[in-house]
Amino acid sequence: PINWIIDVDIKGFFDNVDHHWMIECLNQRIADPNFRSIIIKFLKAGVIQEGKYRKTEKGTPQGGILSPILANIYLHYVLDIWFERELKKKICGYTQIVRYADDFIIGAQTKVEAEQILKEIKARLKKFNLEVSAEKTRIIEFGRYAKENAKNRGKSKTDTFEFLGFTHYAGTSRKGNFLMKVRTSKKRRSNSLKRMNEWLKKIRNKHKAKDIWKVLASKLRGHYNYYGVSSNSEEIQNYYHQTMRLTYKWMNRRSQKQSFNWQTFTEYLKLYPLPKPVLVYNMYDIW
């Protein structure tokens, strides 16, 4: 029933959370006044900018350990409950919202309904002093008819959307039926490899190879546990091979003298193997 996706971006969400409304939401969820008081102090702790203290009248610290949790509580009341209890009654066709923290998408049956939903979302967020980013928010056709309709319009590819580190695109099953597929988004893959490169560079001379191997194995498993999803095999294979190249580069620079060549490195990997890519989740079992 989903033929259109509303890919919504809230403009500067973490910087613009209204403290008054946040406290109202916390009052609904947290009975302990002492615990609420601690969270309020966290919200109003202030920031140091250019050596000067500045009060925080709104927003939550982006990157703060509590911020995603607070975002979930806040938008549970601002969006989720309102969407289920009020917005769905205004829409004739099927619609559903999927959200984590401030990142969310909405599915709709028709383009007219998708436009209506977006209009309602904008009005709802405005009530809480939040704004939809016009540049990053869009409505795209996505579903079983998207490929054929795109072809009829002379487009070679259907539109895709990004959500929680994955690019979602229209694919087909072995029987030729529509199937939503995912792959690691280019931005996430690039950032992940950049962090890996920086980490290997930083620790290459500080620890023994066996200790580096233990942490590296843990990092690889963590990547597979998140991105090891059906249809993403090629991407996690690519991530593994890129990581091996980076590991070879920096392990080979542990001293001014080259430690080993690529052949020696591959032999070392046979003796001390690192976790190979594995698909952890079969998302098609969900359907």
Long-range contacts: 57-61, Cβ < 8 Å, 24+? 57/19, 58/15, 58/16, 58/17, 58/18, 58/19, 58/129, 59/14, 59/15, 59/16, 59/17, 60/14, 60/17, 60/22, 61/14
DSSP type of residue 4: E
Looking at residue 238, its pLDDT comes to 97
**3-state SS track over 178-189:** EEEEEEECHHHH
**170 and 147 Cβ atoms separated by less than 8 Å:** yes
**Stretch (H or E) spanning 104:** strand 103-108
Task: Retrieve residue 171's tokens.
Answer: 């694919």
- What residues does each domain of the chain span? 4-136, 185-285
198 Cβ contact partners less than 8 Å away, ≥ 6 residues apart = none
Residue with tokens 């500045």: 54
94 Cβ contact partners less than 8 Å away, ≥ 6 residues apart = 1, 2, 107, 108, 109
Looking at residue 6, its pLDDT comes to 98
Integer Cα distance of 257 and 264 in angstroms: 15
Mean pLDDT by 10 residues, the chain (287 residues): 94 92 90 89 77 79 82 94 97 95 95 97 96 95 89 88 95 85 96 97 87 95 96 96 94 71 88 93 69
Looking at residue 206, its pLDDT comes to 86
Which parts of the chain fold into alpha helices (H)? 13-16, 19-29, 33-43, 67-75, 82, 88-90, 111-127, 146-152, 186-203, 209-227, 233-251, 262-271
From the CA atom positions of the chain, what is the Rg in Å?
24
> Which architecture characterizes domain 4-136 according to CATH?
2-Layer Sandwich (3.30)
Task: Retrieve residue 203's tokens.
Answer: 């620790």
Looking at residue 285, its pLDDT comes to 64
- Residue type at 162? E
| pTM of the entire predicted model | 0.86
Looking at residue 39, its pLDDT comes to 87
Residues in the chain, overall count = 287
Both ends of the chain: CA-CA distance in Å? 13
Half-sphere exposure at residue 221, Cβ-oriented, CA atoms within 13 angstroms: 9
